[in-house]
Chains A and B, each alone.
Chain A
Amino acid sequence: MKDNTVQDLVDTNSEYQAGFVTNVESETIEPGLDESVIRFISEKKNEPEWLTQWRLKAFEDWQSMPTPEWAHVQFPPVDFQAISYYSAPKSQTDGPKSLSEVDPELLRTYEKLGIPLHEQEALAGVVKDPDALSALQSNKNVAVDAVFDSVSIATTFKEKLAEAGVIFCPISEAVHSHPDLVQKYLGSVVPRRDNFYAALNSAVFSDGSFVYIPPGVRCPMELSTYFRINERNTGQFERTLIVADAGSHVSYLEGCTAPMRDENQLHAAVVELVALEDAEIKYSTVQNWYPGDENGKGGIYNFVTKRGMCRDRAKISWTQVETGSAITWKYPSVVLRGEDSIGEFYSVALTNNVQQADTGTKMIHMGRNSRSTIVSKGISTGRSQNSYRGLVRVSPNASGARNFTQCDSLLIGDTCGAHTFPYIESSRPDAIIEHEATTSKVSDDQMFACQQRGIDPEKAVSMIVNGFCKEVFRELPMEFAVEAGKLLEVSLEGAVG
């Protein structure tokens, strides 16, 4: 009789399915970073002077800032002079064109990734499961902004969205078409010198999406951005800004992949969300950057600053499924500035092989009766290290604030680590804060129960892990939930051979 314990299954390595390289001629500047590079990027995008100055100030700040070292991750120092800070497919150098003009090679890349940019098929961009697709096809579509290295190559459904007054375009375009909005909100949630990587991003950010939902409007479709790093030795520094005006509502999806390369590539994005009075923003991420091979060679360093700000009665909800990247350093946060505002964070982070993740959230309660919920599910396998790090802070003015946090860790195999670092700081004794954390493993009894019903070990592990993550998957838009489950299965297949 063979003892098929979970441990035995944690060996081989799965194929990273998004790991191909697109052969397009790119304009990529020499690696290195100084003032001239920043001026080059700014000029390339024909930016107004205020933005050039803003970038330069950020660069100045960045130079004097230390790299954050408190996270539970280890990696050799990044050589910031070895990175190229701008790369764009040659065919796209004049900025985004209409779909019909986009380089077919690029369209094929996105098709291969399952993100067709033809509008009639756009929904399929995030939904590959035929069942879910047909169920959804009838009622709505998803608008896609596709960002390839440093530029946005296409944005779909712009016209249809414009009818509702919704602005959805590359941020490089918004700088010109909606300068007031961009100038007003850029850096308003994540200040220029917020942290080392945010300052770097502020100096060199390339492209990203800009969204504005006018007062009282419910965005007629899901918005999504698909980020792709292609070029060698480049970093991706996108910047996303979403402004939901009073009483509006938007659901936004983000996906990311990169080719398999031997060197580590840096992705230092900034995402800012502004939810004005009574507005609601739902932001969902399925992060599948290349994680490196089973020995930790290559992979993306995902050092991302994401933060939202809620005015009175506004709500921001972050949902993330993190399966990729060599290192994840990411804390999507909510500043609950308004009264009765709501912040939510739902996270699944899976690490395999030698991946390291230090991820969680910050809920900063400043408004009266503000409420927050944190549900974090960490799964560690292989030799990976997976940490939850979260801050719940209640300021002296936030009377009646409420937080509930649930952090669960699942370990598969005895060579990985699972860690929980919650920081709870309350200056309001009438706040109610509850934090619970548990650690467990996929038990041999559960495995046997599944196998006894004929379910093979791989499927059994993925089923148990999916069950463990259910509370989070439930929060994903349906289009994403199916994908997330499948992605988890693929990522775990690596773990369970």
Chain B
Amino acid sequence: MVDPIVLADSARVPNWLTKTPGDLQSSIAAASVTRIQAERWKYLSLAKAWPSQNTLSPSDLIFVPPPSGTAASTSTHRPNETALEALDSDVDILSPRLANAPDAIARLCNADFINKTYVQPGGHATVSLLRQAHQAPTIIILGEGSTLELNETVSPEVTHLQDDVWLILRKGAKVVHSRSNFGGSNSHLYRFLSVTLEAKASYQLHNHSCGCELHRQDIHIDLSGSGAHVDIQGANLVPAASHLDQHIVMTHAHADSQSNQRVHTIAGAGSKVTFNGRILIKKGCPGVEAHLNNRNLSLSDVATINTKPELEIYTDDVACSHGATIGKLDESHLFYFASRGVDELTAKRLLAQGFLATCVSGPMAQQAQVVLSDLAAAENQPS
């Protein structure tokens, strides 16, 4: 096996981003007022996002520059020339995404520096990222056949976090990605994740979230090679009076690619939950399989749950499905517990934990399970 080179450096913004900043910025401004953008913000109250500035508009949001110098940079090796060149050409892949993620692109543009990691072909790396505050954008490129275990943790002390992660998986690369979005009760998170997969690449996301007052997560995944495979498991617990807003766009741009998503969410009292899962299958992509299942459970009488699973399909020979449910705990399950002498509160707690547990997975599952269970139990206390 080839020895991996892991680079994390503070190299300047890549050429393509600095070349024509004027044009780019106007493109971003234009993209920010498109209908797509308007709809994506539909469910999020911006007043809540920036309580200090009630009049903020989406375009203001987009140009919030991250404070400089706060990004964690754990520089290890200087990259050699070849690796840097490869990196610069790799980064070009990001530019076409402008229309879909103008805010994230804007952050890339405005960043003082970018964290870049390159895993050599056939190599393996484990990267752990602790999210503490505003982060410089992170770009991770996996060479052919390489593997990566990526573990991201949000520190509960974070009050305001904006971050971007861009993953590029070359042919046959494999990523197991865990995200523990366990913020504190004051945490506001705005997270953007972009994943591009080439042929036979495989990407697993174990996405766990709870505890944040406000959590907005955009995930864009492009399957642009034959045999690419994506699996997402999401377990979310939204505490009382909090807000979770998740948008996942799964784009199948190549034949014979597969994706599977399962997202379970529990909404606490007075919370607001939005899930928008879009599956797009482009023209000429036969043999695609794409499935999405979103289930939402509420433990109180006041909560708002919006879910919008979408299918947009331009190829006939595909197998697609999505399902979404909103509901409360099944009476017959509760009765089953009662008939065995278990009190209602315990029964509810166990059922809620079970509901989430089915979607808790990956290397960080154990930690996530503990946090989620504790919170589920706390949420379930009579108020």
Interface residue ranges, A against B (CB under 8 Å): 69-70, 396, 399, 409, 411-441
Contacts and interface: CB of A to CB of B under 8 A. Distances in A.
B318 A433 contact: no
The 10 closest A-B pairs by CB, nearest first: A429-B298, A411-B316, A420-B311, A439-B320, A433-B326, A441-B316, A435-B324, A432-B327, A417-B314, A425-B306
A399 B307 CA distance: 18
B316 A420 contact: no
A432 B284 CA distance: 38
B39 interface: yes
Contact of A422 (B283, B300, B309): B309
Given A423-B306, A429-B303, A439-B313, A70 B35 contact: yes
A426 B318 contact: no
A365 B137 CA distance: 44
A436 B325 CA distance: 9
Interface in B293-316: 298-316
Interface of B: 35, 39, 267, 283-284, 286, 298-328
A411 B302 CA distance: 41
A438 B326 CA distance: 19
Interface of A, secondary structure class, is strand
13 contacts: A409-B313, A411-B313, A416-B316, A417-B313, A420-B310, A424-B308, A430-B301, A431-B327, A432-B328, A437-B311, A437-B321, A438-B320, A439-B320
Contacts of B320: 437-439
Contacts of B315: 411, 414
Given A426-B305, A430-B328, 11 more contacts: A415-B283, A419-B312, A421-B308, A425-B304, A428-B301, A429-B267, A429-B326, A435-B307, A437-B320, A438-B321, A439-B313
A377 to B, nearest CB: 14
A431 B311 contact: no
A435 B321 contact: no
Nearest to B267: A429
B313 A422 contact: no
Given A69-B35, A430-B301, A432-B327, A437 B322 contact: yes
A326 B118 CA distance: 51
A414 B286 contact: yes
Contacts of A430: 298, 301, 328
A411 B320 CA distance: 12
Nearest to A435: B324
Nearest to A385: B314
Contact of B321 (A411, A417, A419, A439): A439
Nearest to A416: B316
Contacts of A424: 305-308, 324, 326
A431 B304 CA distance: 11
A431 B326 contact: yes
Contact of A441 (B298, B317, B326): B317
B311 A419 contact: yes
Contacts of B317: 414, 441
A70 B35 CA distance: 8
A6 to B, nearest CB: 8
Contact of A440 (B267, B312, B319): B319
Nearest to A394: B326
A169 B365 CA distance: 67
Contacts of B304: 425-427
Contact of A421 (B310, B314, B318): B310
A412 B316 contact: yes
A331 to B, nearest CB: 16
Contacts of A421: 308, 310
Contact of B322 (A396, A420, A427, A441): A420
B111 to A, nearest CB: 33
Nearest to A417: B314
Contacts of A435: 307, 309, 322-325
